[in-house]
Amino acid sequence: MYPLKFNPILKERLWGGTKLKDVLGKPIENDITGESWELSTVSGDISVVANGDLAGTSLQDLIEKEPENVLGKSVYDRFGTDFPILIKFIDAKQDLSIQLHPNDELAKKRHNSFGKTEMWYVMDADDDASLIVGFNKDVTKEEYAKSLENDTLLDLLNYEKVKEGDTFFINTGKIHAIGAGVLLAEIQQTSDITYRVFDFNRKDKNGNLRELHTEQALDAIDYTKKDDFKVKYSQEKNTVNAMVDCPYFKTDFLDLNAGLTQDVSGRDSFTIFMCVGGSATIANENGSVELKRGETTLLPAVSNTIKITTEGAKLLEVTI
């Protein structure tokens, strides 16, 4: 199996814009495209191979046919044929809704789904663009509920100004939102379970307010103020720099201006590369793929060696 690229799954969003086309070259056809799903086996949104002899084959079919070769034995033993990662690029022209995600236990009980732990890597940000991550003080459930009634929730939230390269880890229960003017790469558990708690009283194209999940969120929120979300990582050139290592995914940062070869024969996991800057050629024993900013590739676990050729690229490398 060679390095695989997939057709992007483009999503219109009330808050979306045009940066996915203008900055990343995605083939969007409207001015409110908010998300490009790069790797997905979410029901109804399953990625399809775009390159080579396997073009037209769905990621789910590949996994069903050769689970250990695609996923790795340890990943298959843990998740079965469920692909455990969802990879996106997100363009927020407007603020996203204030939201949070349930943990695995709650998501399994209520939705028969994984929870949703995620991370963000900021690729582009307008001047003074920010994210909302957590509370600015410890709050009680009662204080939180009262703030919703009084329309003062925003006064309780923590705002973080951002620039390219800033990285955030969003664990379950943490209230958050992507702010207007931010383009980012998102790596998350395979789950589309979101509890929306405030949406700035916006209406959709049909004049309707979007659904809120006020009651469901009450028992899912972490109400404590924490400073555990900003990821500090090395940006040393031409090596693998650790970013996030959690039970659901491991992400490293590669800032390359020369080639790099990795022996991954003992990895026992697929490898994903998201190109967040520049361009590179990524190869294993069975082929290669060209990757430019805003593109993603999946190298099956059966790969033994990964060879990256570039004169300048920034890559996020994701494994389990």
176 is annotated as contributing to ligand binding: yes
Q: How far apart are CA 254 and CA 307, in angstroms?
A: 13
- Which tokens sit at 299? 């190298």
Write the single-letter amino acid at 38.
Answer: E
Which DSSP helix (H) or strand (E) runs through 287? strand 287-292
* Chain centroid offset of residue 140 CA: 30
For 234, phi then psi, to 5°, come to: -75, 150
Task: Name the residues annotated as catalytic.
Answer: 196
Residue 187: its H or E element: strand 182-189
d(CA 253, CA 85): 17
Consult the annotation and say whether 101 binds a ligand. Answer: yes
> What six digits make up the tokens of 267?
């990895």
Give the residue ranges of the annotated binding site for Zn(2+): 101, 118, 176
Give the residue ranges of the annotated binding site: 101, 118, 176
